[in-house]
Amino acid sequence: MSDWRIPLSRLDYGLEEEAAVLRVLRRQWLTMGPEVERFEQAFARLTGTRYAIAVSNATAALHLCLMAAGVGRGDEVVQPALNFVAAANMTRLLGAEPVFADVVGLSEPTISPADVERCLTDRTRAVVVMHYAGYPCRMAEILAICRPRGIDIIEDAAHAPLARYIGPDGQEPHGRLAGDLGEIAAFSFYGNKNLVTGEGGMITTQARELAEAVRRARSHGMTSVTMDRYRGLALSYDVSHVGCNYRPTEIMAALGSVQLAKLAQNNSRRRELTALYRQVLAETAPEILVPFATQRSEPACHILAVVLPVGCDRDAVAAAMRTQGIQISIHYPPIHRMSAYRSYAHCEVPQTEEYCQREITLPLFPGMNSEDVTSVCEALAGALHV
Ligand SMILES: *Cc1c(COP(=O)(O)O)cnc(C)c1O
């Protein structure tokens, strides 16, 4: 698919994925049926949550999570400025205002609990956290801030399927997995994520009322689903709430089940490769900062984000890497600097600003080998000194 010598990411797809899609095509039932049910059950079991609800993508999932948390006109939703734009967009689509919080620092680029607290007002309806690069953020502290005030925490867990949060001993939610760290969570199965179905997403929660609200809103707010009408279990239906159509396909779910079975092993390979990157970079390019060096959680290692030295020309580094056939990326341009977010440009997130100017993302995918890691590190070391 690409001419890169080492691409940023590569799918782990094989015969099992092909067979899964064929199975769906031959059954000739394409939307929300047995495959979706099976994928949802397996996902709930693996994440330790009571409810998993599959949807068409994570942006839809975030929309439904915010709706279920009651976010609406005039509300504020505290969230990281260092994130993909989906959560902020969905917040605004609901008539609410994102309030951007800073990250802890360059070596821990997840949302700062102290800054969450600073951003709270009487209008705060929910807090969105994001487990950047697959590393769970400081959940015990954020829970301690939000729970007493009755503020729901929504996890943008797009980077973090099966990441395990290890926090202060004995303090909730120590030992739990992403998707089970707040009130409700959104996952993405987009083409470059740890679990890929092309387009796809999942919502997890322990709360029955939230699960019911999400399930309803996923399919037009209708009281019966297509499959039940097909089976003759329902003829008519009511629309009890206003909803969307964020239904997943059976093809997505069939691919999801196969990918889910590989996920733990693939995450573990990502952790090995990340450890190797840390070791090789410390030798070949010690001026590079690799975040999360001291965190205790078991991360999903979605991306390999590094911070370039002060004053380094990032565009020149990117060009030098491209010459070597190595694809790099950035995660992310900060949301409050986007044109559509001009009115938020005044927000004070100095750590995020600094991080976003100096970050680059190096290739990371389970099929990489140690020579690939060494090649990337050597190319980067060379690029720093041109
Ligand atoms: C990919 C991603 C999303 C959006 O996911 P889609 O499934 O493409 O809608 C949201 N948040 C984060 C952090 C992501 O990485």
Between the CA of 156 and the centroid of ligand 1 the distance, in Å, is: 8
From ligand 1's centre to the CA of 58, what distance in Å? 5
Distances (CA, A) of 321 to 7, 281, 288, 332, 385: 11, 15, 15, 18, 12
pLDDT tens-place string over residues 317-376: 999 999 999 999 999 999 999 999 999 999 999 999 999 999 999 999 999 999 999 999
Higher pLDDT, 264 or 3: 264
- In this prediction, residue 314 carries a pLDDT of 97
pLDDT in tens, 63-76: 999 999 999 999 99
Q: Are 154 and 178 in contact (CB under 8 A)?
A: no
Assess whether the previous peptide bond of 332 is cis (omega < 30° from 0): yes
Query: What is the position in ligand 1's atom list of the atom closest to the CA of 130?
Result: 13
Q: For a pocket test of ligand 1, which of 55, 59, 252, 332 has the largest count of ligand atoms closer than 8 A to its C-beta?
A: 59
Nearest-CA residue for ligand 1 atom 5 is 58
From the list 316, 315, 308, the residue with the least C-alpha distance to 355 is 308
pLDDT-above-70 percentage for the chain: 99
Could you write out the DSSP letters of every residue in 148-172? Answer: GGT-EEEEE-TT-TT-B---STTST
- Positive/negative CA dihedral, 193, 85, 134, 353: positive
Whether the pLDDT of residue 170 is over 90: the answer is no
Q: Which amino acid residue places its CA nearest to atom 14 of ligand 1?
A: 158
Q: How far does the centroid of ligand 1 lie from the alpha carbon of residue 283, in Å?
A: 34
Residue 199 has pLDDT above 70, yes or no: yes
Position 237 confidence tier, pLDDT thresholds 50, 70, 90: confident
Q: Other C-beta atoms within 10 Å of 90: how many?
A: 25
**pLDDT > 80? residue 229:** no
Do 384 and 287 touch, CB atoms closer than 8 A?
Answer: yes
Q: Is the CB of 188 within 6 Å of ligand 1? A: yes
What pLDDT is recorded for position 233?
76
Contact 198, 191 (CB under 8 A): yes
Q: What pLDDT sits at residue 232?
A: 79
